[in-house]
Amino acid sequence: MSEVLNLIHMPDGRVINETNMDPAIERVTGFVRYFVGADLGQAADFSSAVVIKDQQLPIANGSRVVLGPRERTVVFADKFKGASYVDVVDYLIRLRNAAPFGGKSELIIDGTSLGRVVSDMLWDQSIPHSAVQMTGGADWTRKGRYVNASKTLMIENLAVLFAADELKFAHDLPLRSEIEEDLATFTTQTTTAGNQIITQARNASGHGDLGIGLIVAAFASQYLVPQGIQMSKLVGMY
């Protein structure tokens, strides 16, 4: 078998290897998908969007076709301020549908405070999305489009992904230094009761908006993953 596969990229993000009707070649379905994370600010504050590309492609492994390693990469970051709610919603819709994200993206916003207003506006336009409301504790729950998730859980999730080299920055990513500065504002403290909590300081560029955009996107890529995408089967064997 050739080490180079002919991969067919489907509009919905599935990636399938071409078998040329050979019954001895396994048809394996991988994926390319995007998680668009957004943090919404007041008119005087920044709003931001960060996109994680999440992919796992079929590869040749000797005489077999198998799923290769899962790769997650921060591929896009943007921030802006002074925009109305209507403009923010329009921006998120256009970003979600822009190439190459269109048809393969999940939109996740920080649903705390102002995020509820934006979520309602997205809902009114029938735009699928998840609104993550940061809570205390150490767990998460989902009800419809709203997700209540522990802030500590989400930040620890991001830290683990980076430490395990399961999430990387694209080498030419704009605003990478600002994202890293935002993430550095989050610190762990121990309460008098012995509980671990996450606190955040305001930095020179704002309140950590890019960092929060990345945190919610990474959380979604780990916990809100669409089901039923990864699969493989042997076609044509009797």
Domains (range + CATH), the chain: 7-227 (3.30.420.240)
**How, if at all, do strands 105-110 and 27-39 pair?**
parallel
pTM, two decimal places:
0.86
- pLDDT, one tens digit per residue, over 57-93 is 999 988 889 999 999 999 999 999 888 889 999 999 9
Q: Which residue has the higher pLDDT, 132 or 229?
A: 132
Output 205 or 52, whichever has higher pLDDT. 52
Residues in the chain, overall count: 238
* 137 backbone φψ class: left, alpha, beta (φ>0; ψ -120 to 50): left
Secondary structure class of 177 (helix, strand, coil): helix
Banded model confidence at residue 94, pLDDT cuts 50, 70, 90: very high
pLDDT band for position 208 (50/70/90)?
A: confident
Going by pLDDT thresholds of 50, 70 and 90, the confidence category of residue 2 is: low
pLDDT per position as a tens digit, 129-161: 999 999 988 899 999 999 999 999 999 999 999
Beta bridge partners of 8: 16
Give 70 or 1, the one with higher predicted confidence.
Answer: 70
- Note the pLDDT of residue 227: 57
